[in-house]
Copies of this chain bind each other. A is one copy, B any other.
């Protein structure tokens, strides 16, 4: 089955690929003893990028899975799950 995020699949894959590169770059910076503040700035940027990818996915999830579940009268589980996901995301 395809989820709603299928539409944003390319976008998500590109972003995740970029984050992977960022994290690899951060490791290289550490290996080369780059100044801590510059490393920290890159870590903040990678976290922001992951959060943005997460928000795209979350929006698709609400628009797709949650909406479907609620529409077919089966929203209870889906909504509880969503609340848990948002909570985890906010506390990450």
State how many residues of chain A have any CB contact under 8 Å with chain B: 64
Closest CB in chain B relative to A71 CB, distance in Å = 6
Instruction: Indicate which residue in B79, B82, B85, B90 contacts A89 across the interface (CB closer than 8 Å).
Output: B90
The dominant DSSP class at the A interface is helix
A50 touches B51 (CB 8 A): no
B70 touches A75 (CB 8 A): yes
Besides A36-B57, A40-B57, A41-B85, 17 new A-B residue pairs in contact (Cβ under 8 A), listed by A number: A3-B35, A9-B30, A13-B30, A13-B31, A16-B30, A20-B27, A36-B65, A37-B85, A40-B89, A43-B53, A44-B89, A59-B87, A62-B86, A67-B79, A70-B70, A71-B73, A71-B75
